[in-house]
Structure 1
Amino acid sequence: MDMIAIDLDGTLLNSGNEISENNIQAIRRAQSEGVEVVIATGRAAFDVRNLFSDLDLKTWVIAANGATIHRPDGTLFSSIPMEKEDVIEVLAWLEEKGFYYEAIDDEAILTPQNGRELMNIELDRIRSANPNTNLTRLEKAAEKQFSQSGFSHVDSYEEIVDRKRNVYNILTFSFEEEKLQKGWERFKDYPDLTLVSSANHNFEVEHRLASKGNAVKQLAQQLNLSIERTAVIGDSLNDLSMINMAGNSAAMGNAKTEVKEACQFLTKTNDEDGVAHAIDHFLAY
């Protein structure tokens, strides 16, 4: 392999939001054999740096679902921000409809001041409709969303627009499937936007040219590496663009069915060091 691109949530991170020692050692083995290791995530680049701050690992980082690429030293290599008009239209609609959202710029994850309240309102609705429902899984999903670093709270989307900074990705989160579907339908046909989902309770929009697949291809070209000798490891639908782009692919044991069907190799789950297992598979190619 020339390069291995690894998704973060549900892939490199286990259910405890941690990177196992076995996965760390596997990445180091790959790097020691001259393989370029890349983290490819929907998260913000500064959040990734925070996750890796206590680890002696330096990699390229494809962040915001491919809208930004950062060098191993943390400096920005390239970016594809959303058009201002699209940012305004998306955020205004989400705010009007009472959605929780996160907008990634260069410095922060911009989110409503009442974000937790919005999520709690949805949980209360579910609890009222189904009193016997176990909400532990949903509450865990909410806490994982809030476990990211770099949040900056705003009273209105207009504050985001007024900051006059690039917005790379807007994530929308809801526990209500019908509400999410309405959002998906609202933006799926926008010619200037890419629409993807990275987890059960969200959808994300970004510039139409931004995707993990395009970023992996761009990075391979920049580093003069073969896309055919590039491997990717992922679990969610937002990983499909890079799975379809690369010559080799591995789906996590906990991956979505569509991801498993698209990949050539099925590895173990994210709680079973699936990344390490996949890396060993690719290194033995």
Structure 2
Amino acid sequence: MSNEFNDKVDIAVFLTANREDFKQKLLSEAVNVGSKINDILERGNIDLLKNAEVLAHYIVENKEEELVEFAKVEGIAWAQHSLTLAFKLEWVHAIRRTLWYFLYQYDNKNEDNESPRKKFFDLEKRINDSVDQFLNNFFISYSNYKDELILSQKKLVENLSVPIIPINSSIAVLPLIGRIDTYRVHTLEEKVLMGISSMKIQTLIIDLSGIAEMELDVIFQFGKILNGVNMMGCKAILTGLRVELVRKIVDTGVAFDGQIETKGTLQQTLKEHLVLESGVQI
């Protein structure tokens, strides 16, 4: 890095005039990130060196609104491409150190009569507050985007975990797989009742052969769902009840509505109902 600096009155102009030296100093301060610059550019179309220059100018020119907006955009970009936060943290701290280095060089070229102590503390507060504001807004933006992404994926999984499959205009099948916990049973209640209403289901066959586990409170809630199905004028049929689950239901003393039917297998139940619907032997 060159030891000669252009003497400029304005700090922003000074940084622009010494752009290449600024980049080299920045790379020397962020060794780990420096080796990943091309990877990050290819992966997320994020030019770290250019963005560092933009951030430095927003800081020295005290452009608070632009800095906050820039931080939010950066946060979303890093979240979208799942870039490592440790790299971003190292990079911003390197920008902070590099900026202070160049401010020192600028100050040496532009001495004035103002008290050095007061000047230093005023500048220290403004610069560091700006960098911290960028970091705070970046991480908030990153976190919010990730939270929204996780929520949308969670909702997708919820919909997939309660797949109401129409067989014909009046019959539908609900195959349940895996563990039914408290959270999932509430999703089940909402999807089932809404599905019966929107799809005009008259018979809902609920297959439990893939259920791994169902806790006591979940069994009680499941019973309420079945009662709700009947209240909506829909006939509920349970198939595939495993021995372990039947024992648990019996031991808990939960009594399902008397109108609930139970069948051995989903295949046999479908065969019986399709025969009844068509009147043709299968």
Both proteins in one fold, TM over 0.5 = no
Task: Give the structure with the higher percent helix.
Answer: 2
Larger relative contact order (CA 8 Å, sep ≥ 6): 1
Task: Give the structure with the higher percent strand.
Answer: 1
TM superposition score normalised by structure 2 = 0.25
